[in-house]
Structures are given as C-alpha cells and as structure tokens.
Chains A and B, each alone.
Chain A
Amino acid sequence: MVSSVKQRGTSSLDLWIRSARLFSGLFLSLFVLTHLANLALGLVSLEAIDAWRGILMAPWRSGAGSLILALAAFIHASIGLYTISKRRSLTLSRVDVVQIILGVLTPPLLITHVLTLRVTSLFVPEFDASYAVILSVYWSLAPAYAFQQLFVVMIVWVHAAIGFYSWIALRPVWPRIRNIVLPILFLVPILALLGFVEAGKEVLYRLENDAAWLDHIRAAQHLYSQAAPTLNAINTNVVASYWILVSIAFLSWAVRIYVGRSRPVRVFYEGDATATGRSGLSLLEISLTSGIPHAHICQGRGRCGTCRVDILRGGQNLTPPTDQEIKTLSQLHVTDTTRLACQARLLQGEVAIARILPAYADISAAQTPEEWEPKDSPSKIDDTLPAPVSSPLQEVTP
C-alpha cells in the first residue's frame, strides 16, 4: 500500500501547519492550566495565591518564557485564521463551529487582561500586578472586567479542552489515562472559580476593614492610571487590526465557496448513491453536503482513518495523498487503492468509491481498527455488522 502512496504530496506543509497549531495550543493550555491552578489556591487563602505565584507563574513571567508564550499565541491565532481562510465549503461539524467561534472571540476579550498584566510594567515599572490587586479590581473597583474575564476563562478553557480532547482521544494511551484526565479537565476550572470566589470574599473583607491594604490597592491603581491612556490606545489598535484580519480570513473562505460553485464534480458510491459537489472539495465534504452518511470521527483532520474509501475508478482526478494521510493509512491494513476521504480532494470529473466503514462507526474504529476490519476485502462493507444505510438518501443530487 505504502509503495503507491509514497510520493510526497504538496501538502506536507499542511501537516506541519496543523501540528504547529496543535502544539502551540497545547503549550498555551499548559500556561492556562498553571494559571488556573494558581487561582484555585484561593480556596486555601489569599496569601497562598500570591505566595505560589512566584513559583507557578515565574517561568512564564521570565523574559524567555514571555517571549515563547507570545510566540505560541501568535502562531496559534494566525494558523487558526489561516485554516479558516483555506476552508472550501460549509461542511462544518458542530465541534468545528464551536471551536471557530470560541477561538475567534478569545483574543479581543483577552487583550485587556494581557495588557494590564504584562505591558503596564513596561511603562510603569513599579506596577506589580499581583493577584491581590487584580482581584480587588475585579471584585470591587471595576466589576465589569470581572464578567469579561470570567467569560473569557470559560471560552478559553472550553476551546482548549475540545482541542486537547480531539487530539488525545485518538491516541492509544487514551483508554488508560481517560479516567484521570477527564475529571481533571472539569476539576481545574471548577476549582479555579471556587478559589476565585473564596479569594474574592477575602478581598472584599479586607477592603472594608484593612486600611493599610486598601492603601496598597489604591497606590497600585494610581500607578496603573498613569499608563492607562497608552494601554487603551494599544488596545484599540490591536483589536482593530485583529478584526480586520478575521474579516479577511472569513472573506477568503466565502470567496472560495463562491468560486467553487461553478465547477460540479460527481462521486459514485457503492450501491446506487451518487453525489454532486464542487470541484476542490474533499470526498468527505461532498458526502456530507449531499447528505450521504460517511464515518468521520476526527471531523476531517486525517487522524483517525475512519473515513477511508476504496477508489474504484477515477483516482487520477483526486489530489495526491498528503503526509497526514500517508501516516494514518500506514497504520491500517489498506490496499493500493485506499484513500482517506477527508484528505483526497476531487478536482474534476467523476470518481467511483466504496466506503469501507459503516457510518455509525465510533471512536473504537480509530483506536482498535482491527475489530472493524471488513472480513473479505477492504472494498466491501462488512455484512456481519448491522446493516448500513440503504435509505432514500441515496438518490440525492442537490
């Protein structure tokens, strides 16, 4: 199998790009994890948070750490926008929609927090954004920021959890670590918010009763206000340019959809089903837009292999295999004519394919593919599995 698919496709860049997005995302998630863990110490006491701040947050606050963090954020966001602009169709799963929305909303909501904590000290070196100061701002001085920050914490955590889960659930180690990782995924934000509340109670108490503490906070506030106009200007500029970039990305997506409409291509499935799609769409996208059931556990990222199909004829009309595709297929028992439907794009004409896995295949098809292997040959849907769809959907031609 590997021999005929070995030629490197034009999309090894694609593989690198997606890996970069994944790993920068994981890096950022690690940062968020330590940050929230620090906040969760509020359940112990307010001092505990700031005491551990020096330990937990120090690597990220160092020069090198800050630089790598900023780089990771930049890489992740820009690759995210790039992949949006490269989309060719409106076939999005619900997970994709959620990730796009959450991802796009994060930077403008987060920028204030980042500026306050990191950039203020560039202008006003004495300003120390300790947890005590920031919590006072959130709980008493400007609660509107608290709402914004809580909201963005939820967005970021959900985005990170979804991205992390969809990557790690396909790895062989998942069944073993599942029962540890999943509770942690939920406990971290819950504990962080509870710590936030407890610390808040203490902050409010102190603001009422501790005069010295109140003075300290006031002083920090004064320092901040000196840098405030500059920070606001930076904020506005950054947000404006960000939204311009986002608009460009979405516009590019829209243009691709529109341009592709004029060149229809056809796919013939086993049985009588046919589907018509636009040139340049992947086989999976053509299936989904035409309402033909097609297994796709990893939502088209080329990692799980459940969308694999046998190409019966017309294989020359497809794009050459990507590196991701080669990698995934080499781990499965496949023939020369097997392709991943989510990676193989139909550029022109027609192609006849046979789906290998039934549409209701679940994640075990990716983790233990030998259980789902069709018995006779890879080009037939297994008769021993419950009947696949032979429904009135098959005569769809949109």
Chain B
Amino acid sequence: MTLALLHRLSEQAHEIGASFGAAPQEWEAVRTAFSAAMMSGDGVRSFTYILLLMMIGAGLEWFYWTYSYASLRVLLNTEPSSPRQSLLFGLRRFWITGFGLLLFAVAAIGSTSAFVWPPGVHDMVVTLTLTLVMFRFIVIVADIVLSPGTPQLRLVPLPDRTAFTSMAAVALFAAVGSVAWFVPALITRIAGTPNLAQALRIGLGTLIAVALLLACLFTRRNREDVLAGRRRGLLPKFPRSLASATVITVVYALWLFGYSAAAVILGALAIVIAVQASLRSVVFYFWRDKILPEEPPHDGRESEEHHDSVQQDLAPSIILPAVRLFVALIGIGVCALAVDVPLTALATSESPLARFSFRLLGVAALALLANVAWITVRTTIDYRLSTIDKVDEHEQPGPGARLLTLLPILRTTAATVITVMLVLSGLWTLGLEITPLLAGAGVVGLAFGFGAQSLVQDVITGIFYLAEDTFRVGEYIESGTSTKGTVERLTLRTVALRHHNGPLHFVPYGTLGTVRNTSRDWVIEKFNLPLPIEVDSEKVRKLIKRVGEEMLNDAELGPLIQQPLKGKLYRVEPGIKIFRCNFRTAPGNQFTVRAAAYKRIEVAMNAAGITYAGNLPLTRTLDPAGP
C-alpha cells in the first residue's frame, strides 16, 4: 500500500513537472494571441468597455461615498467607550465600506451585460472584476480588524508598527490569493491551456505557502523569551509557530499532490482548533473593562476568594460557548463542502456515518444549551454568594444567612437537574431508545417516593421554612414539641438546636411544627413594682420616666434600648399600689437592661425617699398574672 502511494506521488510529481515544462510555450502562445487580439478593433472596443465599466462602478461607489463619508469620518474620530463599542464601530465600518464595495461590484458586473463583447472577453472581465472585489473585501476586513490608521478602533491588541506591517502583509496575501483563486480557472476556460493554468495555480499556491511559513518564522518566540521562561520555572509553552509551520507544510503537500479535500479538511481542523484555543481570551478581551482586577491577598484570607476574577457580567460566559459552537459548525460545514456532502440531506442520508454526525451536531447544540443554563445559574449564585458578608456570631444574623444555606442547595439541585436532562436528551437525540429508561426511572421513583415520604416531607417543609425566613442561624427558637435552643446549623433535612445547657437537638423540619422564634426583631420586658399605697403615683411615674431617659442616654445601655423604660399604675390593692414598668429592646438584651433598670429605680427611689411595699395585703394573694 505504501508502494502504491509512493508510486502515485511520483506520478503526480511528474505531471506537475511536465505542466511546468509545457507552460512557457503555452504562455508564449497565449501572449501572442492576446496581443494580436488586442491590437485590433475588437481590442480597442474591449478596452473602451472596460474603462466604461470602471467609470460606472467607481462612479457609483464614489457617489455613494459623497453621502456616507461623513458618518465614516465621525466613526473614525470617535473614542469608543468600551471594547464592545469598538467592536460595534467595526461592524458599522464594515457595513458602510462593504456596501460601497457591493455597489461597485453590482454596477461593474451588471453593466458588463449591456455591452457586446468579443468572444471570451466577457468571462475575463467578469472574473477580473471578481478578483478585484475579493481583494478589496479582504483588505476592508483586515483594515477594520487591524485598523492601522486609527489605533483606538483596533480590535486586536497590537502595537502600531505591527499593525501596519500586518496590514501590508495581508494586502499582499489578498492580492496573490485572489489571483490564485480566480485566474487559473479563467485561463483554462478561455485560453484552453491547462498546463499554463496548472503551473500558475501551483506557482501561486507555493508562493502563498512559503510566505505563510516565513510569517511563522518571523512570529515565533525568540530564544531569550524561551530561556527566561525556563529559568523562572515555568513549563515550556506550546510551540505554536512550529505547529503552524508543520500544519502549513502538510496541507501544502496534500494540496500539491492532488488530495485537495484532505488538505481542506486538515486546514479547517487546524484553524478550528487554533480558534477554539484562543477563543476564551478573545471573547474576554472584549469584556476586559468589566472584569474586576484581582485584589492582593489580605493577611489571613484564603486565596480561593480571588482564584478567578469575579465576573460581574454574565454575557461573555454565555457568548463564549455559543461562539465555540458556531466555530465548530463552520468547521464542519467547510469539511462537508470539501467532501461534497450535501449538508441539507445529512439528516435523511443513506450513510449511517452522515446520520450519526448529524445527530452529534444535535447533541453538541444540547450541550451548548446546558452549558449556557449552567453557567447562568452558577455565575448568578456565585456572585450573590460573594456579596453576602460572612456570619458574625456576635451580631444579629441578617437575611444573608439563609441565602448562605439556600443557594448552595439550589446550585446542587440545578446541576443535578441540568445534568440529568442533558443526558436523557442527548441519548434521545443520538437515537437510543430512552423510553425503557424513563419507565424504569418512573417505577424506581415511585418506590422511592413511597418509602421516602417523610424524608421528602422534611426536605420540602425545610425549604418552605427557609424561604419564609422562619428562623436563621443564631436565633433562639422553641418548636411545638418543646424542644428549644439556638439554631446552630441548617441542613437539607434537619435543624440543629443548641440547648443553653449544652445538648444539641437535631430536629427534622417535618416535626418542627409551630416555631416560636424569640430572637426576632424585638422583645418587650415587663415587671411589677409593689409600692406602699401612700406614694404619689404621679411622682413615681415621673421618677420611672426619668430613670428611663437616663438609661436611654447612657452610653452602654442606650444602644440596647428600643423604647425607653416607662411605668404606670397598674393595680391598687389594699395597702399596695402596683406599678407595671415596661421597655423594649432587641432580643437578647432584655436581661441586661432589666437588671440595670431595677438597680437604677432602687437608687432613684432611695433618693426620693420611697420604699417598696413592706407587707402583703391581708386578704389577697398575689395576682396570678403577676411578674
């Protein structure tokens, strides 16, 4: 088999050599025929028609430019406010200049039909115009991307000089490439000299290949950079120039020896791989103003807080996989064109390979959707989590505490759901029967469901508890089953309550029932003061009020009090007046404030000469609703 291959290659090489040998004579023949044809009435007429075409085409384009140049000039002189806006400007430039080119092409090529051409000249004129249009198109695109004259609109991070040289290089490539694309076929059609066409094709192709190799040579990383990287201990980087040079050489060899389909496929594959490898940096380049710079690590903080720049903008994470899929599709399309497989008939094609590859495309699209959904969910949750402050045990827990619990659960759930759906949809798209799978899952789910009723009840009840913000980590609750304690931990199924004596109660949500949350918002503390019946009620009331104001203005007690201490006459019994005092504080502070209140009231009463009631009333017991 190798021998047959070698034989074939040498045959091909001979053929090429032969065509190169025969080309000069053919060229001479063509040249003399062409000169003879030109130096005649027909030649003059053709030349005149060509001039007319150029006038019409260029004239129409110039006329268009008198209207649109002003807007282009504004674009070129405006500073874009973000990299995405420079991309938008680039698109607008493309639209404006491209439309001019379109007008030129349509006008020039369209008017060729208005003239009567000598034989073969029409074809030649149309082909040469198409060559010019292709060249101009490539140059327009390169001008927009490289933007040598307007650095602020440049879409790639290149210094000015490199932009200029790259532009010149691209223009040269475009010229040679356009000629190589159109002219050999033209020669074959009108001059009937296949050897000349072949020689031209191969010559230009070789020129392009050599130029590309030279470009690889000039853009490789130089020795000093490589050595410097090694010295710093970095791993050697992927040798891009070498790989590109290899690929170019192989593609050229394949093309030269007639395996042009293989050459196209290999080239497309190489380009797709190169693009995919750099696509992330390209897409994020356009969002570089939105990505926060990494903060230097604070002492003691873990570094995973800034392992990845926090992305405030979701768009690039979604656009990236979409563009990846798009690039992959284009690559597949090019390969399909190269092997002449009709893309539209892929789905119903005879060949199982074609059908399978079509289905793979479907799976790729599903994977893209799942990726997009997952990235959306994960980025939003991560962002939300990172903006919540950590729980401080000494302060009242805020609403962020329950988010800290809920969001990771949500993330895990979303991941599971998306994965399962992706797997099932993928299997279905690939043509595998998943009905038995689903049926089996259904039966198993039913069995699980019956058996895990209370588990499910716990989980769902727990979700509702958390969603309703019934209690948070750090609050003191009592559940209906007389279990009480401070909430220490919330899990999917249970809540851990720490009794103030030490034991830890694990209470499933389903059995939590009614929850008495004594740590929420505020607490009103009331206590009674029994005073002798002779006291002046108003004086006592004012005394208590003064004590309350003093406590409110106190530096330590003041912040704890929400509503100051007040007292009023509550009950009169024989020999006793009972004053009931109350104040309002945040939960947990009432004990401190009450002790302080008692102390201060006693001091104040002593100063005012009031004493507590000495004897209990003779016939009454204390009010059962007393303190």
Contact = CB atoms under 8 A, between A and B. Distances in A.
Interface of A: 138-140, 143-144, 146-147, 150, 154, 182, 186, 189-190, 193-194, 196-197, 200-201, 204, 293, 358-360, 362-364, 386-393
B39 interface: yes
Of B45, B70, B77, most A-chain CB atoms within 10 Å: B77
A143 B78 contact: no
B44 A186 contact: no
A52 to B, nearest CB: 21
Contacts of B47: 146-147, 150
A147 B77 CA distance: 42
B613 interface: no
Interface of B: 38-41, 43-45, 47-49, 51-52, 55-56, 59, 63, 66, 69-70, 73-74, 76-79, 151-152
A204 B41 CA distance: 7
Between A140, A204, A360, the greatest number of chain B beta carbons within 10 A of the residue's beta carbon is seen for A360
Contact of A143 (B43, B59, B73): B43
Contacts of B44: 138-139, 143, 146-147, 150, 200
Contacts of B78: 360, 386-387, 389
B59 A186 contact: yes
30 contacts: A138-B44, A143-B43, A144-B39, A146-B47, A147-B44, A147-B47, A150-B44, A150-B47, A150-B48, A154-B51, A182-B63, A186-B59, A190-B55, A193-B48, A193-B52, A193-B55, A196-B48, A197-B45, A200-B44, A200-B45, A293-B77, A360-B74, A362-B69, A362-B73, A386-B74, A386-B78, A387-B78, A389-B79, A391-B152, A393-B151
Contacts of A200: 41, 44-45, 48
Given A197-B48, A200-B41, A186 B77 contact: no
Given A146-B47, A150-B48, A393-B151, A360 B77 contact: yes
Given A193-B51, A386-B78, 11 more contacts: A150-B44, A186-B55, A186-B63, A190-B52, A190-B56, A194-B52, A197-B49, A200-B44, A391-B79, A392-B152, A393-B152
Nearest to B60: A186
- Among all A-B residue pairs, the 6 with the closest Cβ atoms: A360-B77, A362-B70, A360-B74, A146-B44, A359-B77, A391-B152
A382 B76 CA distance: 18
Contact of A360 (B55, B56, B63, B73): B73
Q: Give the one of A293, A387, A391 with max B CB within 10 A.
A: A391
A167 to B, nearest CB: 16
Main secondary structure of the interface of B (DSSP, over half): helix
Contact of A390 (B45, B48, B79): B79
B77 A358 contact: yes
A358 B77 CA distance: 9
A189 B151 contact: no
B271 to A, nearest CB: 32
B508 to A, nearest CB: 64
Contacts of A362: 69-70, 73
A143 B38 contact: yes
Contacts of A197: 45, 48-49
Nearest to B45: A197
A293 B76 CA distance: 10
Contact of A388 (B38, B40, B73, B77): B77
A200 B44 CA distance: 9
Contacts of A147: 38, 44, 47
A215 to B, nearest CB: 20
B430 to A, nearest CB: 52
Nearest to A364: B70
A299 B6 CA distance: 64
A89 to B, nearest CB: 18
A114 B38 CA distance: 24
Most chain-B Cβ atoms within 10 A of its Cβ — which of A146, A358, A363, A364? A146
Nearest to A386: B78
B63 A143 contact: no
